[in-house]
Amino acid sequence: MKKDTFRDELVDNYLERINLDSKIKSYFKNKNILVTGGAGAIGSNLTIALSKIIGDGKVIVLDNLSATQDGSPWNLINKPNVMFVKGDIRSDRDLKRVFKERVDIVFHLAAFFANQNSVDYPETSAEVDVLGMIKLLEISTLSEVEKFIYASSGCAIYGSFPELPLKEDFISMHLTTPYQINKMTGEMYCNYYMHHFGLDIVNCRFFNSFGPGEIPGQYRNVIPNFIYWSMNGRQLPITGDGSETRDFTYVLDLVQGLIKSAYYKEAIGENFNLAAGREISISDMAKQVQKVTGNEIEFLYKERRKWDTKPRLLASIEKASKLIDYKPIIDFEEGFKANLDWFKLFEKEIEKSSDFPPGMSAAVK
């Protein structure tokens, strides 16, 4: 496996397998597409995929590189039709800079990630995920972009104890973190900009993404952190009893959903889940991590974090399948292998960028 072509090849292989309709490819041809948060876990994968279908168009990545410890953009793909602007969605100047490029479509993925981070820094969470987003919606409206696709979150919308599988017509007002509140607010602002100004928006509700591109860190998801700790021979902490389930979704399946969301007219003004539509328990996932990394240390069981009130997560993907022909194709084992290969290949870079600052997180306090 070669470092400089690894992620490119994964995306090529994926696009070949889903066999994107030629109508979708021609819709994207020569478009200028803004991906906020394009250096992040999901955004970097989306950027690679878009760069392959836009022809003479341009992907403009706006990212402040705040998600990693060293602020290095190594995770971002270097291609002639990808333009990287280091900047902040909260800055009018940075927004003007990127919208000068005549943006046709916006994929809004930048966020103050995620639950625990927002518990520790509630004001920054609102500044980025609400105020920053309003600025972006405002300039997108004024620039008359064709589509505004928003990365919402299933964990934000459905609260703690809804019926499974989670369907789009149920929403909860009982949210447990500022992140969840702000992600839901983001959806409501999208709806507002559509109804009041006619901006064509789509609310995509992601579930537990995993795959190449997600750097571990204090505030990151469980899979990259478990792989990282296990590769380093450390004990895996399970907050709860391990029977909790999540709908872990391979990142390129989310990318498929995003691309189709921008293309299908039926998606405009809608909200829908993008997930794998299967449940995997935390202990099964952790056992798999240990097996492939040769780690036999017993798990360390800890109390669930106060905000972590969801014993199970499973999404219905019926609506996305009907509206945008969404079909996740990667099973957990295959996605997990790709994730692990990426970790092994980029071990040194990941070590430098992973963000585990010293001191106690509010999770432990």
Ligand X SMILES: NC(=O)c1ccc[n+]([C@@H]2O[C@H](COP(=O)([O-])OP(=O)(O)OC[C@H]3O[C@@H](n4cnc5c(N)ncnc54)[C@H](O)[C@@H]3O)[C@@H](O)[C@H]2O)c1
List, by residue number, the catalytic residues.
179
Q: 101 by DSSP, 3-state: which? A: coil
C-beta of 358: minimal distance to ligand X in Å?
21
Chain length of the chain: 365
**d(C-alpha 63, C-alpha 36), whole Å:** 6
Interface with ligand X (CB under 6 A), residue from 115, 118, 203, 208: 208
Minimum distance of ligand X from residue 137's CB (angstroms): 14
- What's 158's DSSP letter? S
How many residues touch ligand X under the rule CB under 6 A: the total is: 30
Under the criterion CB under 6 A, does residue 112 sit at the interface with ligand X?
yes
Residue 293 near residue 336, CB atoms below 8 Å:
no
Residues 22-51 that bind ligand X (CB under 6 A): 36-37, 39-43
Q: How is residue 332 written in tokens?
A: 């957990």
Q: Which of 180, 190, 199, 224 lies closest to 313 in space, CA to CA?
A: 180
With contact defined as beta carbons under 8 Å apart, do 190 and 145 qualify? no
Q: Is 211 helix (H, G, I), strand (E, B) or coil?
A: coil
Q: How many CB atoms lie within 10 A of CB 163?
A: 8
Q: Does 73 bind ligand X (CB under 6 A)?
A: no
What SS3 class is residue 8? helix
Could you tell me if 3 and 345 are in contact, meaning their C-beta atoms sit under 8 angstroms apart?
A: yes
350 binds ligand X (CB under 6 A): no
Point out which span in 98-106, 109-117, 299-307, 347-355 binds ligand X (CB under 6 A): 109-117
Rule CB under 6 A: choose which of 8, 12, 25, 66 binds ligand X.
Answer: 66
Instruction: List the one residue from 107, 148, 206, 264 that touches ligand X (CB under 6 A).
Output: 206
Q: Using CB under 6 A, which of 34, 49, 58, 63 touches ligand X?
A: 63
Minimum CB distance to ligand X smaller for 206 or for 264: 206
Residues lying near ligand X in the complex (CB under 6 A) are found at: 36-37, 39-43, 62-67, 88-90, 109-113, 128, 132, 151, 153, 183, 206, 208-209, 221
